[in-house]
């Protein structure tokens, strides 16, 4: 089960955290992985890790907010592999603040990456998948697209758009061989979280880590590998009957 042999998977934001976990797991399951990230060195490290472990991977530098960068990325993957079976739209950025604390520049920055970036990557992938007669798109939404979270105005807006894009893509291509789903994580313990705590709560990292962990009723943050396992299911043939769905992986947040 969950065999990705013979498939090519493009993962954006693959340089760290959830994206890195997905790239590694997909490679272990046999996929040829295109690890894309704005940080070229981070993408290279993940690709090197995969190659050292015996998998297949190549690194790509990409700014998903720029059409020419996305076009070059997808062209490169297609030139290298001749196909694109799986697109994981994982690249994203955060913003903290209410609407009063969100400038037009803040909103545009978040939109350009989290919404426009997903659009650009999916728009480039869909024609390839249609020619193949099959393909899977997996978008990274958030629990913030399902419930209200304080001080996350711009971020919640962007992830709500990702959720509705997911359903629109699923409906438009359900008869043409393309499936599209999204994952809605609560807080996941990634290097971003550690950096955020160090920058904003110096000396209080442990205290704030406890606070962030307790937001999830289960009492902890999720791990990138746990999100990757769900991504593997949704991108494998075992989920062939699943499309247009939003999957919370949230430690009980949406259950209470």
**pLDDT tens, 45-67?**
999 999 999 999 999 999 999 99
Q: 163 and 42, same structural domain? A: yes
Tell me if 178 is assigned to some domain.
yes
User: Counting Cβ atoms within 10 Å, is residue 215 exposed (0-12), middle (13-18) or buried (19+)?
Assistant: middle
- Is the pTM higher than 0.75? The answer reads yes
Q: 216 and 162, same structural domain? A: no
pLDDT tens per residue across span 133-152: 999 999 999 999 999 999 99
Q: 163 and 64, same structural domain? A: yes
Are 198 and 205 in contact by the 8 Å Cβ rule? The answer is yes
Tell me if 251 is assigned to some domain.
no
Q: 202 and 77, same structural domain? A: no
**111 catalytic per annotation:** no
Tell me if 111 is assigned to some domain.
yes
Q: 210 and 85, same structural domain? A: no
Closest-CA residue to 237 (of 91, 31, 16): 31
Which of these is catalytic: 60, 119, 155, 196?
155
Query: Which whole number is the average pLDDT over 199-220?
Result: 94
Question: Domain tally for the chain?
Answer: 2
Q: 99 and 196, same structural domain? A: no
| Banded pLDDT at 81 (limits 50, 70, 90) | very high
Q: 206 and 88, same structural domain? A: no
Domain residues for the domain of 194 are: 188-221
Count of C-beta atoms within a 10 Å radius of residue 196:
16
Cα torsion through 138, 223, 111, 256, rounded to 10:
90
Sequence length of the chain is 256
Q: 207 and 238, same structural domain? A: no
Count of C-beta atoms within a 10 Å radius of residue 45:
17
Task: Give the whole-angstrom CA distance, residue 26 versus residue 256.
Answer: 32
């Amino acid at each position: 089960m969950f065999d990705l042999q013979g498939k090519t998977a493009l993962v954006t934001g693959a340089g760290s955290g959830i994206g890195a976990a997905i790239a590694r797991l997909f490679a272990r399951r046999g996929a040829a992985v295109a690890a894309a990230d704005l940080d070229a060195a981070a993408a290279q490290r993940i690709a090197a890790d995969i190659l050292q472990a015996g998998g297949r991977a190549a690194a790509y530098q990409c700014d998903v907010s720029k059409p020419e960068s996305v076009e070059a990325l997808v062209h490169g993957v297609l030139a290298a592999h001749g196909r694109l079976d799986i697109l994981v739209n994982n690249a994203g950025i955060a913003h903290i603040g209410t609407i009063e604390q969100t400038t037009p520049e803040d909103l545009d920055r978040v939109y350009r990456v989290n919404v426009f970036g997903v659009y650009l990557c999916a728009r480039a992938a869909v024609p390839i998948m249609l020619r193949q007669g099959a393909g899977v798109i997996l978008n990274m939404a958030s629990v913030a697209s399902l419930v209200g979270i304080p001080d996350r105005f711009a971020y919640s807006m962007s992830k709500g758009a990702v959720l509705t894009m997911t359903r629109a893509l699923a409906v438009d291509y359900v008869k043409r061989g393309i499936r599209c789903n999204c994952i809605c994580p609560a807080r996941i313990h990634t290097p971003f979280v550690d950096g955020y705590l160090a920058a904003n709560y110096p000396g209080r990292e442990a205290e704030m880590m406890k606070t962030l962990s307790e937001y999830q009723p289960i009492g902890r943050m999720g791990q990138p590998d746990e999100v990757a396992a769900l991504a593997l299911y949704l991108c494998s043939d075992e989920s062939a009957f699943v499309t247009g769905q939003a999957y919370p992986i949230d430690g009980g947040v949406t259950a209470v």
